[in-house]
Amino acid sequence: MSKRVLLGMSGGVDSSTSAVILKEKGYEVVGATMRLWEDNTNEEPDSIQDAKRVCEKLGIEHHVIDLRKEFKENVIDNFICTYMCGKTPNPCVECNKFMKFDMFYKCAQKLNCEYIATGHYAKIEYSEKYGEYVLTKSNEEKKDQTYFLYGINKEILPHILFPLSEFENKEEIRDIAEKNGLGVAKKKESQEVCFIPDNDYVGFLTRNCNAFKQKNKSGNIVLNNGEVLGKHSGIINYTVGQRKGLGISYKEPLYVLKLDKENNNVIVGTEKELYSKVLKANELNFLLDIDLTKKIEVKAKIRYRAKEAVATLEVNNDLATLEFEEPQRAITPGQSVVFYLDNIVLGGGKIL
């Protein structure tokens, strides 16, 4: 079997160090940077230039793959439409599903690469118990990124490498980069959504929603019983669980419970009303071949930073019903829920 691997290189320390690790393990490494969201100028962004310098330093070939059109269609447009529908999207999930582990894998095949690799914190292992390759959590629990990876096609799991899966902390990775003379060793990590570098979601949505012939209309802020408490400036300005910035007064603190797109209302209530034991999800993807016709106990995460919670999962066609042992705070439509069996990702879906 060929040991030629196409490594996704963002110009950051994680993917750059991954190149070093893969080379040390005997792989023939080919670097590739996807150009996803930058404007239509011919000038290359810093991320591509950084990746090129790393590849030159390590003596490996580098490719730039222009996928701006595909990224807009599959990630940015989905982001805008989801917000306009009164839900809260997760663009990193969509990017991994459509770009990094679908189109990128197709690019790898064209370049005669048996594997693809990324700098994600996750593991791919062969499970004797299940008799197949599985996606499991990274050793570095705090940085584990399996929550964002549940949507990938299980058929390509045997062809994915995560070189950082065994590391316990980020300093080890930076040390490797520095020892190998990589200029990105001390480069800071970006915490923002890549296509909104200023982190101004509302500004981005306001500038772009006209392209979808929709307007960010003002409406009412109401209690569950329909009592009007004030006006909102457009539902894209709010998300479930939000307390600050509501601009209303009440006898006790109020939080956003729901965004009612149909009636253009922001529904608010007390913190106690934020908790729920049941959610439903669709757009399901499963990474294990197990019997889902019966209820099974899983641990589930309703957002990236949430703690796993014990729940019972029931699947009927493309609809999952999840009942938690303990009520969960601010279950948010549009976000992903991910199911785990021990440290293995069973699958996940979009919260309704």
Q: Is residue 198 part of a domain?
A: no
pLDDT value of residue 198: 87
pLDDT of residue 45 exceeding 90, the answer is no
The distance of Cα 271 from the centroid of its chain, to the nearest Å, equals: 27
Sequential DSSP letters for 154-180:
GGGGGGEE-TTTT-S-HHHHHHHHHHT
230 with 297, same domain: the answer is no
- Is residue 242 one of the residues assigned to a domain? yes
**What is the pLDDT at residue 298?**
98
Burial class, 326, CB count within 10 angstroms (exposed 0-12 / middle 13-18 / buried 19+): exposed
Please confirm, yes or no, whether 194 is among the known catalytic residues.
Answer: yes
Q: Identify the helix (H) or strand (E) that includes residue 257.
A: strand 255-260
At 41, which CATH number?
3.40.50.620
**Are both 229 and 88 inside the same structural domain?**
no
The answer to whether 95 is a known catalytic residue is yes
Q: What is the CATH number of the domain that holds 300?
A: 2.40.30.10
Q: What's the one-letter identity of residue 150?
A: Y
Q: Is the dihedral of CA 175, 177, 182, 187 positive or negative?
A: negative
When pLDDT is averaged across residues 313-318 and rounded to a whole number, the result is 94
Q: Assign 216 a pLDDT band (cuts: 50, 70, 90).
A: confident
Check whether residue 144 and residue 280 sit in a common domain. no
**3-state DSSP call for residue 348?**
strand
Asked if residue 130 and residue 234 are part of one domain, the reply reads no
pLDDT at 159: 98
pTM for this predicted structure? 0.93
- Same domain assignment for residues 26 and 170: yes
**What is the rounded CA–CA span in Å between residue 204 and residue 177?**
35
**Pair (18, 152) in one structural domain:** yes
Mean confidence (pLDDT) of the chain: 93
Task: Supply the pLDDT for residue 141.
Answer: 79
Q: What is the pLDDT of residues 158-169, one digit of tens each?
A: 999 999 998 888
In a domain, 189, yes or no: no
Domain with 330 in it: 274-351
Shared domain for 8 and 151, answered yes or no, is yes
Q: What is the pLDDT of residues 90-137, one digit of tens each?
A: 999 999 999 999 999 999 999 999 999 999 999 999 999 999 999 999
Q: Which of 92, 95, 107, 209 is catalytic?
A: 95
pLDDT score for 104: 97
Confidence of residue 213 (pLDDT cuts 50, 70, 90): low
Instruction: Judge whether 302 and 240 are in contact, CB under 8 Å.
Output: no
Structural domains of the chain, count: 3
pLDDT value at 220 more than 70: yes
Please report, as a single letter, which amino acid is at residue 93. V
Give me the catalytic one of 81, 85, 107, 194. 194
* Residue 69 counted as domain residue: yes
